[in-house]
Structure 1
Amino acid sequence: MPFLVVSLALAGLALGTVPLAAAPRLALLLLLGAAGHWRARRLGARPLPALALLVIAPSLLLWALWRQPQPGPQDPVQRLQGQGGRELVLRGELSSDPRQRGDSGGCSVPLRTAGGRTELLLEPCPPLRQGWLVEAHGTLRRPASGPHPLLSGPAERLARRGIWSQLRLGASTDLKVLARPASPIADLRRRMAATLIKQGGERRGGILAALVLGSAVVPLPADVGASFRAAGLSHALAASGFHLSVLLGAVMALGRRLPRLPRCALALGAMLLFLLLAGPQPSVVRAVLMGGVAFAVLESGGRSRPLGVLLLSVLLMLLVQPWWMQDVGFQLSVAATAGLILTARPLETALAGRLPAWAAAGLAVPVAASLWTLPLQLHHFGIVPLYAVPANLLVAPLLSPLTLGAMAMALSAVLLPPLVPLLAWPLLPLSGLLLAITRAIAALPMAQWQLGRPLPVLVLLFGLSLLPWLLPGAGAWPRRLGAAGLALVLVLHLALLGGDALLLVHRWSGDLLVARHRGRGALVSGQADGLSCSDARKLAGGLGLERYDWITLLDPVAPDDPACWSAQTSLLVSSSDGQSSLQPGQRLESPGLSLAPLSGDSQALALGIGRHRWWLLPDPQSLEAWSHQGPAGGEPVAGVWLGFRPSRRQQQQLSAAAPRRVWLSGAAPGLPQGWSASGANGSLQGAAG
């Protein structure tokens, strides 16, 4: 019965945080209530308590909705009118140290004001510290939303932190430091990280610092973070339950002969130290709560039930902040822990008959965690680290001594600095070995298997179909149904990826057109800047494209970073002087995808996607040049893309050609029937035909 109560409570909180319309949410709530009442009656509950269960899920759903993050009445964003910016002077306290933004030397830092929070955007980045009181003068704006679900923008990132605006400062003189109050906790973290990085360099020392403080506190070089992600080892550098278990294990080994009260004080001190160092991240709070509940149960003489402890810890966290459920790290942490609790031990038993005991135990843990987090990996990233299991097996012997040694180094940096070089002598080679193994695995072919992000309903079906194979004791019929569900998800996802489709993404002044045919893709980009290149790479990963067959850049300005574009394709074509790089008679072609010029004196292009043909007219000159020449060969046209807002005469001129669809980049109200606009910052997508 307690398990049912906790499950209903968690389900109610989940329904309150998932973005759903009112009707589906109400239907799911009714279904949940009926299932809970039926299960309670099956467990022998009396009618009145069974009816009382019907109140749990709706109550917590309303609690989650009420706790939904939103700006307060005095938040800086309330001083904005409409979508435009406003010159303002804000005073407040810096919530963290600045974090670098791109390669331009700029940075961002959250500012806590009297009525809310905003993010300061500074360029160049002055030396600032967490806790300082500052006065900032700049332009306050709402952060931009992502133009496509695969391209999250600052608005989505900041909303998860309760920030609804950004203040852009024009010069360093626009920021005045009013006071530099002491911030002992932040200074302690900064001193520990600086000591470890100074001792071992930004890579080896940074890894040691991240093992203590977490990668959210210690920014690592971009190449190091990318290697750990590609190898499926990013969890090793995120403060979580593993790091707390290492610390608690060492502390309890030292105090195992002590009486209960000092032993409890040692355990409590270790958990508070871990929380103090890593900060109140969702995964850290979950680990501390679960460790505390489990320790209390064991010390009281009872037998800890790991699944019950996990669910209770999660429920306590979400009662405080329901919207932590939307945190990706929190989701992955809970799923991995559930895998270790429910699947690792039965899997180890099953493997023990075929493998040595040490191999079975070592293999069961990463396999269980990987399988339980697989639906979330696909949902959020569309990418699967193919070598995550062997990678975890290889680095497992290194992580525990490295974590414990790094913690000892960090404490020595504060309490006994002369001891740091002695501890670094054995730890730095181990850190270098961990980095070398990670880089070697990340460099293997298909280290990141790009499957594309499935539809949410397919992810849900995939997770439900996987459960009978992960839970011990599931019968034959549930597993057969699960296998059928997995096959159905695979067929539907591959069918969606393999269709002929076109995607337009418009971000302010830049356009990206992704054409897809049977799992292949090609790209036409209106801009050659770094942001467009980064967006193109994210779109490829989310759409399941390993590389583009070819990329065409319409920007007359040379790319900021040609290597960024070249890394995504084997054939890169750029424009120059406003003319198409493809001259009459030339053609870009790969299986099912083609691009040819419509005229020799403009950038008008004909895009072929399977049997379908689109005209790409990025500017008025392209439309005029095409209209003077006329449709090539009188071929039927599936659609037309316009990179500009046409006049009424141009609309009539284009409508006479009778294309099935017309897509426009930007906002354009009052369009003819069959025409669609992306909006100032949005996207359009659909079948090519």
Structure 2
Amino acid sequence: MPVPPSRSRPRRRRIVWAVLVALVLLRALWVSLTPPLAAPGDPVWQLDAPGAGGGAPLIVTLRGTLLSDPQPTGPDGTCRALLQLPQGRTELRLASCGGLQQGWRVEAHGRLRQPQPAPHPLLAGPAERLRRQGAATQLQVEQATVLARPPTPLADLRRQLAQRLLAGAGAERGGLLAALVLGSARVPLPLELKEAFRAAGLSHALAASGFHLSVLLGAVLPLGRRLPRWPRLGLAGAAMLLFVLLAGPQPSVLRAVLMGGLALAVLESGGRGRPFGILMASALILLLWRPEWLADVGFQLSVVATAALVVCASPLEQGLRRRLPPWCPGWLAAASAVPLAASLWTLPLQLFHFGVVPLYAVPANLVAAPLLTPLTLGAMALALVAVLVPPLLGLLLPPVAWCSGLLVLVVKGFAALPMAQWQLGRPEPLLVLLLAAGLLGLSVPGPAGLPRLGRRLAPALLLLAALGHLALLRADQLVLVHQGHRDLLLARHQGRAALVSLQADGFSCRQARQLATGFGIPRLDWALLLDPVAPAEPACWQAQAGLVLASADGSLPLQPGQWLGSPGLVAEPLSADSRAISLVLGQRRWLLLPDRQALRAWQATEAKAWDGIWLGVLPRRPERHAVTAASRGAIWLSGGGPADGPPGWSASGPRGWLQQGWG
């Protein structure tokens, strides 16, 4: 029986739209996964030129325009800033943040090098970060000269707003107010405050997004309610343009503005807007323009969280109203549905990118919601006062700053609760897909949701994802991360872990913390630091391990007859004059030989068979036979490459990792 034309047209239209969406997403995925090629005049080609030194730093002088104010990179006072060159970009590494501003033309002289990639998938590397920003090199600046100071009204306005709010209300309260207007990317917020907002599940309040735009439009649109159509649209357009100018053209900002503009256009034309369709249209338009934004974490979280609100916030509210006890206030269901929907839908992304879940995100958002909206509106009003009538800022700032301080107390209170950041580890991509499919099956409502079979399978998918990830977390595993002269060995046993590090510096500590977080380890059983120099940041190590053993006077932290361990994880020294270590991991015994002295000391001991051997230095040819004969399993070598060791040996390369697991 032929299908009537009236029915076949909508079906053909849906097929066409599905094909277009698939093509856009495939293009964006391809661009995101393909390494970008540097422009012909980019300075990276100077490093690859013949006679450039084989990747060694190159002394150069570059001229360009600063794309941002220098931003601090750590506690040592160093800073970084992107420099736009005639062809390409580079990142300036500066000794201090003062003296340079966004928009200035500068001449920078120093050592040019390529940024180093991350040595392990769970660690952050400058190469990956700069690739997202369109830069392929870093310049360690030795001398910087300002060539021109062209007018930069927007940058000056942002800087002036932030400085006045910071000066009037302090680093925390003023920084929070400035972030509610400009976004945290443009405000020097204290690191402790950023971490507290992240742990409480309120990071979205600091990032310029759709919430801030909705507050702004909620204040502006009523003012133009009685105006004719075009002046009313002009007022809304001016508000959205101002929002983009202040917060900058970030992916989440442009998504919110484009979605708001499309929604206003549909409503003013007399049509009936479908929020999910408007969201998808906005996202696809942006991906057509900038397909690499598909890999941007902020863009992903913004789109997914907004989709959660427009698809399942209302059904969740209705379900909560039916299930909450009668004595609960009526507003509780509506207030809980929004953060609950956003938290559920963004959970796979949170785990995939960070391996951490803010456990108290829903109650924290419930408590903070009555403060956030008036505080955001008050911060925007203060920004207007700071620009137009600065003398009034001193009179109007104290009550808003007090409200800001109250929000800071709420955030820090939730961040200080036990397990505020639930470290579940970063699951495998397949498990993330299973988790996302299960959550969609349970939360997508009505006829627009998944088929009945999908709903029945959703709990099984969630259970399969949870059991698979739990099995990976509890498996025995040894991981080596090597970069330059630094080596980290992380031993995991039944959900617990211990660490052996050759260096005790702060950088190694921060790398160890990222690695442990990615593997879902909230706290190490113990950490053994084989550096003869005492730790530069002992508090960093002590914060992530139950027991830290390090050298204080150049002597070895472990002597013969001593051992450091917990059930299934034990380290013992082999001699009194070397750093050779016997590491027990479950039922397996590994030999750790960090240097040549440790190799010689091991050869002088009684011969044993080891389940694995790690070498921090390439043995000489006669020594290789002894190492090969002593190992029943893997032989790892830090540095070098496949050709540096005999067959069957594994080398990490100059920056890389090796891993072996047992079920």
CA offsets, 1:251-280, max 9 Å, x none? 011111222121111100100000010000
Give the SS at the match of 1:655.
Answer: helix
Residue 119 (str. 1) matches residue 91 (str. 2): yes
Q: TM-score, normalised by structure 2?
A: 0.94
Please say which of residues 73-82 and 46-55 is displaced more in the overlay.
46-55
Residue 97 (str. 1) matches residue 69 (str. 2): yes
Cα drift, residue 45 of structure 1: 6.5
Aligned residue runs from structure 1 range 477-626, under 5 A: 477-575=453-551, 579-626=555-602
Residue 412 (str. 1) matches residue 385 (str. 2): yes
Residue 72 (str. 1) matches residue 39 (str. 2): yes
**Match of residue 349, structure 2, among 372, 376, 392:** 376
Match of 2:646 in 1: 672
CA offsets, 1:486-520, max 9 Å, x none? 11111111111111100000111111000000100
The answer to whether the 8 Å contact 2:31/2:292 transfers is no
Change (3 A) 1:434 1:363: same
2-structure distance, mates of 1:48, 1:99: 49
Q: TM-score, normalised by structure 1?
A: 0.90
1-structure distance, mates of 2:471, 2:18: 42
**Match of residue 116, structure 2, among 119, 144, 147:** 144
Residue 640 (str. 1) matches residue 609 (str. 2): no
Q: Which amino acid counterpart does residue 604 of structure 1 have in structure 2?
A: A
Change (3 A) 1:575 1:653: farther
1-structure distance, mates of 2:134, 2:244: 21
Give the SS at the match of 2:462.
Answer: helix
Residue 250 (str. 1) matches residue 188 (str. 2): no
2-structure distance, mates of 1:59, 1:260: 34
Match of 1:224 in 2: 193
2-structure distance, mates of 1:661, 1:339: 47
Cα drift, residue 657 of structure 1: 1.5
1-structure distance, mates of 2:19, 2:207: 38
Match of 1:342 in 2: 311
CA offsets, 1:181-224, max 9 Å, x none? 11001001111111111110011000000000000111210100
What stretches of structure 2 of length at least 5 have no aligned partner?
49-53
Cα drift, residue 434 of structure 1: 0.3
2-structure distance, mates of 1:380, 1:320: 24
Give the SS at the match of 1:589.
Answer: strand
The answer to whether the 8 Å contact 1:638/1:688 transfers is no
Match of 1:427 in 2: 400
Cα drift, residue 57 of structure 1: 4.0
Give the SS at the match of 1:660.
Answer: strand
Match of 1:208 in 2: 177
The answer to whether the 8 Å contact 2:423/2:521 transfers is yes
Give the SS at the match of 1:641.
Answer: strand
Change (3 A) 1:296 1:41: closer
Match of 2:230 in 1: 261
Q: Which amino acid counterpart does residue 611 of structure 1 have in structure 2?
A: Q
Match of 1:167 in 2: 139
Residue 629 (str. 1) matches residue 605 (str. 2): yes
**Match of residue 442, structure 1, among 415, 423, 429:** 415
Q: Which amino acid counterpart does residue 109 of structure 1 have in structure 2?
A: A
The answer to whether the 8 Å contact 1:580/1:597 transfers is no
Q: Which amino acid counterpart does residue 549 of structure 1 have in structure 2?
A: D
Match of 1:458 in 2: 431
Change (3 A) 1:577 1:618: farther
Match of 1:31 in 2: none
Aligned-residue RMSD, C-alpha: 2.0
The answer to whether the 8 Å contact 2:39/2:88 transfers is yes
Give the SS at the match of 1:169.
Answer: strand
Give the SS at the match of 1:232.
Answer: coil
Give the SS at the match of 2:226.
Answer: coil
Cα drift, residue 603 of structure 1: 1.0
1-structure distance, mates of 2:548, 2:131: 37
Change (3 A) 1:246 1:524: same
Please say which of residues 85-94 and 651-660 is displaced more in the overlay.
651-660
Cα drift, residue 60 of structure 1: 6.5
2-structure distance, mates of 1:84, 1:261: 60
Change (3 A) 1:65 1:450: closer
Q: Which amino acid counterpart does residue 220 of structure 2 have in structure 1?
A: V
Cα drift, residue 647 of structure 1: 1.5
**Match of residue 682, structure 1, among 656, 659, 662:** 656
Give the SS at the match of 2:659.
Answer: strand
Match of 1:107 in 2: 79
Residue 333 (str. 1) matches residue 306 (str. 2): no
Q: Which amino acid counterpart does residue 617 of structure 1 have in structure 2?
A: L
Cα drift, residue 116 of structure 1: 1.2
1-structure distance, mates of 2:13, 2:216: 46
CA offsets, 1:343-396, max 9 Å, x none? 100010111132432000000000000001000000000100000000000000
Task: Determine what percentage of the aligned residue pairs are the same residue.
Answer: 57
Cα drift, residue 421 of structure 1: 1.8
The answer to whether the 8 Å contact 1:555/1:576 transfers is no
1-structure distance, mates of 2:657, 2:6: 50
Q: Which amino acid counterpart does residue 84 of structure 1 have in structure 2?
A: A
Cα drift, residue 323 of structure 1: 0.6
The answer to whether the 8 Å contact 1:556/1:576 transfers is yes
Please say which of residues 141-150 and 421-430 is displaced more in the overlay.
421-430
Give the SS at the match of 2:599.
Answer: helix
1-structure distance, mates of 2:17, 2:489: 54
CA offsets, 1:412-471, max 9 Å, x none? 111111221222121011000000010011000000000010001110111012111110
Cα drift, residue 281 of structure 1: 0.3
1-structure distance, mates of 2:369, 2:661: 46
**Match of residue 364, structure 1, among 337, 343, 358:** 337
Cα drift, residue 577 of structure 1: 5.9
CA offsets, 1:256-314, max 9 Å, x none? 12221211111001000000100000000000000000011111111110000000000
Match of 2:51 in 1: none
Match of 2:366 in 1: 393
Change (3 A) 1:45 1:350: closer
Cα drift, residue 403 of structure 1: 0.5
Please say which of residues 52-61 and 440-449 is displaced more in the overlay.
52-61
The answer to whether the 8 Å contact 2:29/2:294 transfers is no
Q: Which amino acid counterpart does residue 486 of structure 1 have in structure 2?
A: L
Give the SS at the match of 1:244.
Answer: helix
The size of the alignment, in residue pairs, is 644
Cα drift, residue 64 of structure 1: 6.3
Change (3 A) 1:500 1:254: same
Q: Which amino acid counterpart does residue 141 of structure 2 have in structure 1?
A: L
The answer to whether the 8 Å contact 1:228/1:442 transfers is yes
Please say which of residues 661-670 and 53-62 is displaced more in the overlay.
53-62
The answer to whether the 8 Å contact 2:305/2:345 transfers is yes
Match of 1:318 in 2: 287
